[in-house]
A and B are shown apart, each in its own frame.
Chain A
Amino acid sequence: MAPQVGLFIPCYVDQLYPQVGIASLKILEHFGIDVEYPESQTCCGQPMANTGCTNEVAPLAKRFLEIFKSYDAVVCPSGSCVSMVKHHYDEYFSENKEYDELKAKTYELCDYLTTVLEIKTLAGRFPHKVGLHQSCHGLRELRLASSSELVKEPFGPARELLESIEGLEVTQLQRADECCGFGGTFAVAEEAVSCMMGEDRVHDHEQAGTEVLTALDMSCLMHLDGIIRRQKKPIRVMHISEIFAECL
């Protein structure tokens, strides 16, 4: 029997980017996974946690565990929200076996595809220059790719998956993995810095010839897309799951 995956769709993706949820579902089902979307899910609590409001996170963390504990795996198209569940819930659960299990079985979508399903290549065609934005939490908290600061063997399964798609060319950036400036509430509280960071990221992709800008996190893309559309730049923004789904 195929493992049952609980699909974890971050709140803002549910409300603002349903196509990312649909694409994620389509991909998982394409690979024969039995997916269930537990409807009572809302938010993992990251905005509150990042603001320091841990009391406000506690009930959400407990709800999250109740909702997702029975699945064989939990998969989510957002490194940042996965990192919240895996790395920042400890204080709400002391010596809780169910939480320890949840932590181990929660995956970012590309991570699930490459490490659990061991998918190395994707069929299909996507004849575009694609710019991969390395979202920080996936990169430096979940270690889903090598970061430029560390002296380690470079790796990047998501990038390899993209590169396996026919016609797809991943563009080369001047600053491989700099933050886009979203940072949750930072985007509003530090508006000036946040927007300058975003603008610099967009500019780096422009000089690299990016036609389609993608990432493992829709939140970074929401911020970058906001700048791209305000400045009317000819760059299209797609979550990585949308590209994969188009290639199935």
Chain B
Amino acid sequence: MPSHPKLADEFIKDKERAKWHDQSLWFVRSKRDKAVHQLPEWELLREQASKIKSYVVSHLPDLLEEFEKNAKAKGVHVHWARDAKEHNEIVHSILEKHQVKRVVKSKSMLTEECHLNPYLERHGIEIVDTDLGEWIVQLQDKPPSHIVMPAIHIKKEEIGELFHEKLGTEKGASDPQYLTESARQRLRQKFIEADAGITGVNFAIAETGGFVVCTNEGNADLGTSLNKLHIACMGIEKLIPRASDLSVFLRLLARSATGQPITTYSSHFHGPAPDSELHIVLLDNGRSEIADSDEFRRSLNCIRCGACMNTCPVYRRSGGYSYSNTVPGPIGSILGAAHDTKANSSLPFACSLCASCTDVCPVKIDLHHQLLTWRKEIRLKGLLPLSKRLSMKMMSWMMQAPRLYQFVGKMARKIVPYLPRFLVYNPFNAWGKQRELPDMPKQSFREWMKQNHDRK
């Protein structure tokens, strides 16, 4: 898999696009700031949410059992999937049993994580993503580049082009109103033709056995109410203990995600509709392992608001695809490293450790510390490139020997100023590609001290 720096470099080559991407996401981050600064109790809410989630993660088995019991009592079919493969097989078997040929899906990053779409398509089932952004990337045959705004990287002109090709809209049209209306008409048809609806789950409530799905387009509601089969796919960490906890999370989620006070639709599902079936597939896929780890447990607090991506100066400039992981950005780098450390070993380094993600996170995940801890793990697992390992070893040796350090510093200060420019600024000097090196002073601070500072 190409590393993050390489993919980031490619994305940034189109400077204008990278700039535009950064500005689009900064706009969302600014909206978030305005929305949260209107709530004097914001930090209190974060604290409370963090405590609730930490409780959930440390009591997962009990809460999951409670949820299963209560959901079953409401007539919900509950399934357990250990990994993505099992998840897809379960979903497929339910669809097969009902002889479903067409499925509408509301946005679910979990099904992205499992690559459910290609799996079902291979089995002859048509699956349509009904979230507008996600449908756009589906039409492009690409994954989402952001977990809340899946098509944030695509310009409206490009969508016009795509729709012209795929939906036969007018050539050159880029008016959002016109394009959205065209999409709406086509999606409406898909909703009517579908035999089953798949949704994700934002919050599942152990106490009641019900769950909540948040969308801005109402597509989850339409997709699940027009037909008789609803399959909800959730990661086991999506639980909250009580219905009363919801108020905390619903206030935090949309504000953090887009700066809205609440999502347009926060739909509650407590059992199947009359003559219908409701299935819930609970997926582990490495989550219990994270729950067992002291260092990374808190990453399961994540409510997938995407605020860490919007604020991350690296994500904003390198784009979601540079992470090659279902969930990009700071939280994605943590989850990705946990899922497949080798394949994702460059992700925890795609971070300047600015800690903005940690401060923006509504459930107080110590994101930048976890990324730093991942770097340590990667070193321990021997996945750090030799060049980094060696240079750090050499630096450490030098710094343990003050005389050597002084000597090397002095030599550099004496020699570098006399070197021809091409020797200093060569292809091996990544610093100097777009930056000047500092001017070499004649004396180090310690040399100055020796010469000028009178001991008292």
Contact = CB atoms under 8 A, between A and B. Distances in A.
Interface stretch (A52-60, A108-116, A163-171): A52-60
A196 B319 CA distance: 13
A179 to B, nearest CB: 4
Contact of B355 (A56, A141, A191, A225): A141
Contacts of B393: 53, 56
A18 B443 contact: yes
B314 interface: yes
Given A43-B399, A60-B396, A230-B436, A149 B360 contact: yes
Contact of A39 (B311, B402, B413): B402
Interface residues of B, number: 74
Given A51-B379, A51-B384, A56-B396, A178 B5 contact: no
A34 B441 CA distance: 27
Contact of A189 (B43, B311, B349, B448): B349
Contact of B352 (A52, A147, A194, A229): A194
Interface string B399-442: 11010010001001100000000000000001101111110110
B313 A47 contact: no
Contact of B36 (A21, A151, A195, A199): A151
A51 B351 contact: no
A175 B26 contact: yes
A192 B10 CA distance: 9
B399 A223 contact: no
Contact of B445 (A22, A52, A140, A229): A22
Contacts, number: 216
B8 A18 contact: no
B350 interface: yes
Contact of A63 (B360, B400, B433): B400
A137 B43 CA distance: 21
Q: Is the interface of A mostly helix, strand, loop or mixed?
A: helix
A197 B22 CA distance: 10
**Residue in A40, A63, A150, A182 with the greatest tally of chain B CB atoms within 10 Å:** A150
B445 A13 contact: yes
B405 A227 contact: no
B40 interface: yes
Given A190-B5, A195-B434, A150 B359 contact: yes
B226 interface: no
A143 to B, nearest CB: 10
A50 B435 contact: no
A183 B399 contact: no
A179 B352 CA distance: 8
B246 interface: no
B18 interface: yes
B445 A21 contact: yes
B359 A39 contact: no
Contact of A14 (B36, B354, B384, B445): B445
B33 A149 contact: yes
Contacts of A54: 376, 379
B356 A59 contact: no
B392 A140 contact: no
A9 interface: yes
B122 interface: no
B445 A9 contact: yes
A15 B5 contact: no
B453 interface: yes
Contacts of B97: none
B349 A186 contact: yes
A151 B436 contact: no
Nearest to B393: A56
A51 B378 CA distance: 9
Contacts of A88: 372
Contact of A52 (B378, B412, B435): B378
A50 B395 contact: no
B4 interface: yes
Given A147-B359, A183-B353, A197-B352, A15 B444 contact: yes
A6 interface: no
Max chain B CB contacts within 10 Å: which of A14, A192, A223? A192
Nearest to A229: B436
Given A43-B399, A45-B396, A151-B43, A140 B354 contact: yes
B39 interface: yes
Given A14-B446, A47-B395, A183-B352, A226 B437 contact: yes
B4 A190 contact: yes
Interface string A220-247: 0011011101100000000000000000
B153 interface: no
Interface string A171-215: 000010111011111111111111111111000000000000000
A25 B453 contact: yes
Contacts of B376: 52, 54
A52 B353 contact: no
Nearest to A151: B42
A103 to B, nearest CB: 17
A84 to B, nearest CB: 11
B435 A227 contact: yes
A93 B413 CA distance: 35
B370 interface: no
Given A15-B444, A51-B375, A186 B351 contact: yes
A195 to B, nearest CB: 4
A16 interface: yes
Interface of A: 9, 11, 13-22, 25, 34, 37, 39-43, 45, 47-54, 56-57, 59-60, 63, 88, 136-137, 139-141, 147-152, 175, 177-179, 181-200, 222-223, 225-227, 229-230
Interface of B: 4-5, 8-9, 12, 15, 18, 22, 26, 33, 36-37, 39-40, 42-43, 311, 313-314, 317-318, 349-356, 358-360, 372, 374-380, 384, 388-389, 392-393, 395-396, 398-400, 402, 405, 409, 412-413, 430-431, 433-438, 440-441, 443-449, 453, 456
14 contacts: A14-B445, A15-B441, A18-B441, A34-B456, A39-B402, A41-B402, A50-B375, A56-B396, A136-B352, A140-B358, A181-B352, A188-B431, A190-B4, A191-B9
Given A60-B399, A150-B43, 8 more contacts: A11-B405, A18-B448, A39-B402, A43-B405, A149-B360, A151-B39, A183-B352, A195-B433
